[in-house]
A and B are shown apart, each in its own frame.
With several copies, the nearest count.
Chain A
Amino acid sequence: MQLRQLKQALEALLFVTEQPLSEQQLLAYFAPEQVSKKQLLAVLDELRQDYAERGVQLQQVASGYRFQTRTELGGIISRLWQEKPPRYSQALLETLALIAYRQPITRGDIEEIRGVSVSSQIMKTLQERGWVKVVGHREVPGRPQLYATTSEFLDYFSLQDLSELPAIPDAPAPLRNSAQAAQIPAETATDIE
């Protein structure tokens, strides 16, 4: 087998296999072509040099040789899988708001105020986001978890501490007209901005 052909075949092989290939595996693979270990190592070294400045590189890892993308490109490559920013539901926002303004607070407290049960998915999302964490348990039957906001939460909203959260006007007296009641916070929001 010509050296040029061996190099091409080796290169292609390392690109198509999912797992790294060890010296032994490569030698076994090229046994029909009677490639010696010395030849193999020389060609691998050549390939390594060829790819030194490229977007992908030949790396030797514990289980053998493999091509992988250049480390510095991680950021730009990862955009491939970047998801769109999520849009949060009203239920999630209210839950987050209650945790922020009324912490430490249990899920039961939130449910009592909102009048509806809080989905586990919402609590999971808020925790995965790193905005909410469990800071303890209320020592009552069932020992419900107490939730509080995190420093990441403050960072995200550029707050130094919770006292910087927008003040909420005293809750309005209960109204018959629910539409009107709903209107009040909307106006508040504009003021805050």
Chain B
Amino acid sequence: MPAEQQSLPLGFVRGEPVIEKPEDLYIPPEALELILESFSGPMDLLLYLIRRQQLDIVELPILPITQQYMEYVAMMKELKLELAADYLVMAAILAEIKSRMLLPKPVADDDDEIDPRAELVRRLQEYEAIRQGAAQLEQLPQAGRDFSPIQLATDVRDQLELPEPNVSLAELALAFSQALATAQLQHHHQVEREKLSTRERMSRILDLLQTKPRIRLQEVFTAAEGRQGVVVSFLATLELVKEALIEVVQVEPFSDIYLSQRVTADAIETA
């Protein structure tokens, strides 16, 4: 519909017509079509007709304006522009005002008789103000057209460490007890408590075996830990053997004892 067509340079800039309008009607039809399509609606056309005569809106010379408006509407029809109903509504309003203006004024009676044009004049004034607003918006700096907001890329984000959660040791212990309690309720079997340090040492030995396929038994002992440390390491080794997590190999009596990962092939065979 023509009312929503993009405004063309032939139309208005800051509310003023840029081109001289079809005073004589000998404009090539294509150009005329452009002009007609450039009106954003009947108010736009009406305003144009008034401004063309360099008149003030309040003077609204209803007779000639109505006539010209009808001519334009006829041209639009002729050019088979898809004529918006809105143009016809305005034509009806103009016709109504015209007829009321032509009626003889009732004598005396009302001082508060309202000029039939008044409402249309008010609308035209407001429309003109808004046209001005639209033109000013268009001229304001626009993002992407006149400037770009800046967002620098940064790799700082990659350096970000995961935030530390907030877990206390007590919570952990509690969670363990709860897990055990659940286990007992569900399975009715006693979960044995074992020396923690032994379990830790078991992990450490397994971890060591991740890096080397074989380690000497001596390597699991640390002299600095003293007797107790050695005992813990030894118990851990025995526990690992018992749980079939490692293998202990001694090639001949009194030679070095080696700990190694269980060979996968074994597992497959036993499987």
Stretch at the interface among A25-33, A34-42, A175-183: A175-183
Q: What is the distance, in angstroms, from B34's C-beta to the closest C-beta of chain A?
A: 13
Q: Which residues between 187 and 239 of chain B lie within 8 Å of chain A, taking CB atoms?
A: 187-188, 190-191, 193-197, 199-200, 202-204, 206-207, 209-210
Most buried by B among A94, A155, A156: A94
Is B81 on the interface with A (CB-CB < 8 A)?
no
Note all chain B residues with C-beta closer than 8 A to A20.
149
A171:B181 contact, CB within 8 angstroms = yes
Q: What is the distance, in angstroms, from B93's C-beta to the closest C-beta of chain A?
A: 9
A74:B145 contact, CB within 8 angstroms = yes
Q: Which residues between 13 and 55 of chain A lie within 8 Å of chain B, taking CB atoms?
A: 15-18, 20
CB contact between B163 and one of A83, A97, A135, A184 (< 8 Å): that residue: A83
Stretch at the interface among B20-28, B100-108, B131-139, B250-258: B131-139
A181:B150 contact, CB within 8 angstroms = no
Note all chain B residues with C-beta closer than 8 A to A67.
149-150, 152
CB contact between B244 and one of A89, A138, A158 (< 8 Å): that residue: A138
Note all chain B residues with C-beta closer than 8 A to A135.
203, 206-207, 210
A103:B151 contact, CB within 8 angstroms = no
Contact bitstring A123-155, B, C-beta under 8 A = 1, else 0 = 000001100010111111111001011000001
B140:A16 contact, CB within 8 angstroms = no
Note all chain A residues with C-beta closer than 8 A to B43.
113-116
Q: Which residues between 146 and 193 of chain A lie within 8 Å of chain B, taking CB atoms?
A: 146, 148-149, 155-159, 161-163, 165-166, 168-176, 178-179, 181-182, 184-186, 188-190, 192-193
Note all chain A residues with C-beta closer than 8 A to B190.
171
Q: What is the distance, in angstroms, from A101's C-beta to the closest C-beta of chain B?
A: 5
B180:A168 contact, CB within 8 angstroms = yes
Q: Which residue of B lies closest to A188 (CB)?
A: B177
Note all chain B residues with C-beta closer than 8 A to A113.
43, 123, 126-127, 130, 179-180, 182-183, 191
A175:B185 contact, CB within 8 angstroms = yes
What's the Cα separation between A189 and B184 when bound, in Å? 19
What's the Cα separation between A141 and B268 when bound, in Å? 7
What's the Cα separation between A85 and B165 when bound, in Å? 5
Is A8 on the interface with B (CB-CB < 8 A)?
no
In the complex, 9 of the A-B residue pairs with CB atoms within 8 angstroms, ordered by the A residue number, are A68-B153, A70-B147, A81-B157, A85-B145, A85-B163, A94-B179, A116-B40, A166-B136, A179-B119
Which residues of A does B touch, CB under 8 Å?
A: 12, 15-18, 20, 56, 66-71, 73-74, 77-78, 80-91, 93-94, 96-98, 100-104, 112-117, 119, 121-122, 128-129, 133, 135-143, 146, 148-149, 155-159, 161-163, 165-166, 168-176, 178-179, 181-182, 184-186, 188-190, 192-193
Which residues of B does A touch, CB under 8 Å?
A: 1, 3-7, 11-12, 38, 40-44, 46, 84, 86, 89-90, 114, 118-119, 122-123, 125-138, 140-154, 156-157, 159-160, 162-167, 169-188, 190-191, 193-197, 199-200, 202-204, 206-207, 209-210, 243-245, 261-264, 266-267, 270-271
